[in-house]
Chain A
Amino acid sequence: DIQMTQSPSSLSASVGDRLTITCRASQSISSYLNWYQQKPGKAPKLLIYAASSLQSGVPSRFSGSGSGTDFTLTINSLQPEDFATYYCQQSYSTPVTFGGGTKMEVK
């Protein structure tokens, strides 16, 4: 199985901050990396697919980059509605695997 490691596991931030979350795969996954946002009691929501493609309807302050084993999710100018947990997921091979999550809280 491909292991996905996210860092940090949690962080505190303020509205207006620029944040970066990282995700590392245990082997190369090319650009088969997706990012999800999950709010309490809700299903995950797809934000970024194929490492850097913005899902329809997702604000442009979200961006993704990387390939191979190292990936980042960046949020520019954090908004109140962005406080949530973020997960990366590799779609390179089965079993599909997710990172452990990054929980973002208000500073």
Chain B
Amino acid sequence: QLQLQESGPGLVTPSETLSLTCTVSGDSISSSGYYWGWIRQPPGKGLEWIGSIYYNGITYYNPSLKSRVTIYADTSKNQFSLKLTSVTAADTAVYYCASPYTSGRLGGPFDYWGQGTLVTVSS
């Protein structure tokens, strides 16, 4: 059974870098054909796709965030991570890692999700 678990600081200072990690169990993130992604949800608002990484390391980002986002993988730890630079209060959100595991399509559907982690941007 595939499981995803986010981890990282719950509080980030404005203008600093937000860093989160998703630990995957139940399969290897380097297994052929799988995408691993990040999706966020500001409090009381809707869902926004941040970006995804393919098993071979190719990354895909939402153009609205592309200049500030990096997604990378650590296959030795079976983890993939998110870095978001120059954060502001508008980046306060619950951040989910998710995978369109069964379909193997970049855009989804996302059938596996972590439980989410709230990141607050505040001084």
A interface with B by C-beta (< 8 Å): 1, 32, 34, 36, 42-46, 49-50, 55, 87, 89-101
Q: How far is the CA of A89 from the CA of B47 in the complex (A)?
A: 9
In the complex, number of A-B residue pairs with CB atoms less than 8 Å apart = 66
Residues in B with CB closer than 8 Å to A90 are: 107
Which residue from chain B places its CB closest to the CB of A90 in the assembled complex?
A: B107
Interface SS of chain A: helix, strand, loop or mixed?
loop
B115 beta carbon closer than 8 Å to chain A:
yes
CB pair B113 A98 closer than 8 Å: no
Q: How far is the CA of A34 from the CA of B20 in the complex (A)?
A: 26
Identify the interface centre among A50, A97, A100: most chain B CB within 10 Å of its CB.
A97
CB pair B107 A94 closer than 8 Å: yes
Residues in A with CB closer than 8 Å to B114 are: 43
Residues in A with CB closer than 8 Å to B16 are: none
Residues in A with CB closer than 8 Å to B60 are: 94
Interface SS of chain B: helix, strand, loop or mixed?
loop
Given contacts A43-B96, A87-B47, A97-B49, whether A49 and B109 have CB atoms under 8 Å apart is yes
Chain B proximity of A58: nearest CB distance (Å):
11
Q: How far is the CA of A44 from the CA of B49 in the complex (A)?
A: 13
Chain B proximity of A98: nearest CB distance (Å):
4
Further pairs besides A91-B103, A96-B106: 15, Cβ < 8 Å: A34-B109, A34-B110, A36-B110, A43-B115, A46-B109, A46-B110, A50-B109, A55-B109, A55-B111, A89-B109, A89-B110, A91-B109, A94-B106, A96-B108, A100-B46
B76 beta carbon closer than 8 Å to chain A:
no
Residues in B with CB closer than 8 Å to A101 are: 46
